[in-house]
Chain A
Amino acid sequence: MPLLKIDDLEIEVKNGTTVLEAALENGIDIPYYCYHPALEIVGSCRMCLVQVEGMPKLQVSCNTFVGEVPPERKVDGNFDMVVQTQNDLVIQERKNILEFLLLNHPLDCPVCDQAGECYLQDYSFKFGNAHSRFDEDKRVRPNEYLGSQIVINHNRCILCSRCTRFTREISGTSELFVDERGYSSKIAALEDRPLNNLLAGNVADICPVGALLSTDYVHKNRIWNLQKKSSVCQDCSVGCNIDAFYQKRKIFRLNPRENQDVNGYFMCDIGRYGFHRFEDLERVTRPLFKSNGIFSEISWDTAIEKIGDKFNGAEEKVAGVLSPFHTNETNFMLGRLIKGIIGTFPHIEDEEITYPSGFRISSDRSPNKRGMHDVCPSIVDDLASEINDKEIRVIYILDNEIDKEIDETWNKILTKMDFIVVQAYAMTRLAKSAHLILPGLAPFEREGTITNDQGRVQWLRSVLPNNGESRPDWEILNLLYKTGERFSDINELMKGMGEQFPSYSGMTFFKLGDQGLPLNGNLKT
């Protein structure tokens, strides 16, 4: 393996590693713009210049590969390459490059949405000049829509070409290109093909400056006001890893989080903007009991008592409806509780989309169908007909998607029921048909594990706090068990689940971490 020396650090690297990657992996900070680990190298921004011993000029570290050299050419008889990243020449060069980049860049950080997480701002602060020597007028161009959700501010663009490479290499749709040449160059979308693919939101993330903006976040907030929690997208069974940015009780945006085993560096727009549908809902925050068609608030104790009575009265004639939108823990608890039959509603299927880079949006638009089946093997295929056959009159439903319609068959079934319990977070159509509503948590409030369609178990972290008297869904079900059979906390529950289903054994919050784990003995191939 070649021996590389960067500043004072001596490291062995793999043949063909770039200097930039080697440096970043070892905690040496080299500034860069056009380099992105998921994209082809172009070496166009010149920000990453370093000095390589034996080379006449400074080299772009993102495009300089380290390789083994014959013994007589080794530097100091030992090193295959010696790199300086901090000497005066490099520092001066960085200043110069930044001065070029800032020639036409407006100094509008106060109104720019990237401020606070902008590479240009950071590097200018760290390496740049405090004053500009450019007296001429700056080039000013109006903002343009590249697609329905993406706006470009040409003045801020530094032409790193990350965005055009993204549409060529990752989404494979090639909408973006560099129009014109030299001083007039600018990013543009093909006239007949605007940037409207389902991965478009990512270009705003990978743009190192505030040139590409998602209309969904423009002028909404400042990054330093937001808090970040890592979680998992719940809009399809891929389960992309995300960072949710929120302030108080409101989510402002979702960004993809790197996970090479799931989503790489990106996420799709279905998931990215999906959180909006949980805003401004008519939330259920206390247990509600329907008498004479009107819901009135009751206490948790009374609610639990009422359900207990009905369940005891009905004995085995109780049906449970699981939900692929809920965590493994919640489904496991309901599956174990119901002595009658358990099943689930007909599924939400949509188009399956796969991009040339391998990025996939699953046809199954629920996050946890696989997990649900794993922890409740006794799910029946056709719940509706089973209910009719067995003349079941008591049903316990975990609420599904918020905008789910109730079809004919189910409408008939529900009207025949003596007692319907719906565990819901909002007044959905389903909740309105209930006799008793128990307030659970909304998707971004939930916590627990979900299993994606590749069999990777990931920890869903709650982002927002609970609302009113609502409780975690598994905890509500826990209350319905006899005192001796309850779990004291979610760890105990996961242990219990692991005992019953060995592929889930040994999983804990800490083990799953923020990258998840493949199911035991069921590894992704």
Chain B
Amino acid sequence: MATIIKSYEPTFWDKLYIPALVQGLLVTFKHLLRKKVTIQYPEEKLIPPEGYRGLHRLNKDANGRIKCVACDMCSAACPADCIDIIPGSSPWDDGKERYPVSFEIDLLKCIFCGFCEMACPEEAIELTEIYDFSDYTREKLIIDKDGLLDVYDKTKDKNYYSNSQNLTIKE
């Protein structure tokens, strides 16, 4: 059944336009006096809430060695199929037998679902609060093992964005 929509006929009052103008300006002036909600990105950075799913990191154990055992659980769980691991026998002979020779994540494919973090039996992979890691080429957005361990060093104290060093804008 068709509905008939009546077009709006402005009244005389509407046609004056002045009251509506004043109403609008009132909102503007009210906000002039309030606290600002925008920030001056990139000079100033937003600190994301706990549990934010940003750039990945590979954790290190107490000896400073990579925690990951290259079990491939994360890459099996990953819906975007963006984790590429080459496993190998570890160079250490005290217990841990296996480690990733290479570990790459294609950040452009990643949908930051956090499944990898959930699947990991070693608590080796985690998503961090880092959200600004854009770059100019696709190749640079494939992060490797060293890059991921580096992210761990930068984020382990949970002060990535309050640390002024990280506030400098990337070249």
Q: A interface vs B, CB < 8 Å?
A: 109-111, 115, 218-222, 224-225
Name the 7 nearest CB pairs between A and B, nearest first.
Answer: A110-B71, A222-B72, A111-B98, A219-B89, A110-B121, A111-B69, A219-B98
Beyond the given pairs A222-B71, A222-B87, 11 more chain A to chain B contacts, judged by CB atoms under 8 angstroms and listed by A's residue number, are A109-B121, A110-B73, A111-B69, A111-B97, A111-B98, A115-B71, A218-B89, A219-B70, A219-B89, A224-B76, A225-B75
A356 to B72: give the CA distance in the assembly, Å: 41
- Flag if B122 contacts A219 (CB, 8 Å): no
Set of chain A residues within 8 Å of B19, measured between Cβ atoms: none
Shortest C-beta distance, A160 to chain B (Å), equals 23
Shortest C-beta distance, B97 to chain A (Å), equals 5
- Flag if A219 contacts B87 (CB, 8 Å): yes
Shortest C-beta distance, B29 to chain A (Å), equals 62
Shortest C-beta distance, A89 to chain B (Å), equals 34
What sequence of 0s and 1s flags, for each residue 98-110 of chain B, a beta carbon within 8 Å of any chain A beta carbon?
1000000000000
Set of chain B residues within 8 Å of A218, measured between Cβ atoms: 89
Can you list 15 A-B pairs, Cβ within 8 angstroms, ordered by A? A110-B69, A110-B73, A111-B69, A111-B96, A111-B97, A111-B98, A115-B71, A219-B87, A219-B89, A220-B87, A221-B87, A222-B71, A224-B76, A225-B72, A225-B75
Set of chain B residues within 8 Å of A219, measured between Cβ atoms: 70, 87-89, 97-98
Set of chain B residues within 8 Å of A109, measured between Cβ atoms: 71, 121
The interface on chain B, measured as residues whose beta carbon lies within 8 A of the other chain's beta carbons, has a size of 15
Shortest C-beta distance, A217 to chain B (Å), equals 11
Shortest C-beta distance, B70 to chain A (Å), equals 8
Which residue of chain B has its CB nearest to the CB of A153?
B97
Shortest C-beta distance, A268 to chain B (Å), equals 26
Main secondary structure of the interface of A (DSSP, over half): loop
Which residue of chain B has its CB nearest to the CB of A115?
B71
Which residue of chain A has its CB nearest to the CB of B68?
A110
- Flag if B88 contacts A111 (CB, 8 Å): no
Q: B interface vs A, CB < 8 Å?
A: 69-73, 75-76, 87-89, 96-98, 121-122
Set of chain A residues within 8 Å of B97, measured between Cβ atoms: 111, 219
A219 to B97: give the CA distance in the assembly, Å: 9
A110 to B99: give the CA distance in the assembly, Å: 11
A221 to B97: give the CA distance in the assembly, Å: 14
Which residue of chain B has its CB nearest to the CB of A221?
B87
Shortest C-beta distance, A235 to chain B (Å), equals 27
A110 to B71: give the CA distance in the assembly, Å: 5
A109 to B96: give the CA distance in the assembly, Å: 13
A223 to B52: give the CA distance in the assembly, Å: 33
Set of chain B residues within 8 Å of A220, measured between Cβ atoms: 87
Shortest C-beta distance, A152 to chain B (Å), equals 14
Shortest C-beta distance, A226 to chain B (Å), equals 11
One of B75, B88, B89, B122 near A110 (C-beta < 8 A): B122
A219 to B96: give the CA distance in the assembly, Å: 12
Which residue of chain A has its CB nearest to the CB of B97?
A111
Which residue of chain A has its CB nearest to the CB of B98?
A111
A220 to B100: give the CA distance in the assembly, Å: 10
Set of chain B residues within 8 Å of A222, measured between Cβ atoms: 71-72, 76, 87
Shortest C-beta distance, B96 to chain A (Å), equals 8
Shortest C-beta distance, B135 to chain A (Å), equals 27
A332 to B137: give the CA distance in the assembly, Å: 53
Shortest C-beta distance, B83 to chain A (Å), equals 11
Shortest C-beta distance, B72 to chain A (Å), equals 4
A224 to B87: give the CA distance in the assembly, Å: 14
A222 to B71: give the CA distance in the assembly, Å: 8
Set of chain B residues within 8 Å of A224, measured between Cβ atoms: 72, 76
The residue in A218, A219, A220, A224 that gathers the most chain B C-beta atoms within 10 A of its C-beta is A219
A225 to B71: give the CA distance in the assembly, Å: 11
Set of chain A residues within 8 Å of B71, measured between Cβ atoms: 109-111, 115, 222
A224 to B85: give the CA distance in the assembly, Å: 13
Shortest C-beta distance, A215 to chain B (Å), equals 9
Which residue of chain A has its CB nearest to the CB of B99?
A219
Set of chain B residues within 8 Å of A221, measured between Cβ atoms: 87
Set of chain A residues within 8 Å of B87, measured between Cβ atoms: 219-222
Shortest C-beta distance, A209 to chain B (Å), equals 16
Which residue of chain B has its CB nearest to the CB of A218?
B89
The residue in B71, B73, B88, B96 that gathers the most chain A C-beta atoms within 10 A of its C-beta is B71
Set of chain A residues within 8 Å of B89, measured between Cβ atoms: 218-219
Which residue of chain B has its CB nearest to the CB of A215?
B89
Which residue of chain A has its CB nearest to the CB of B72?
A222
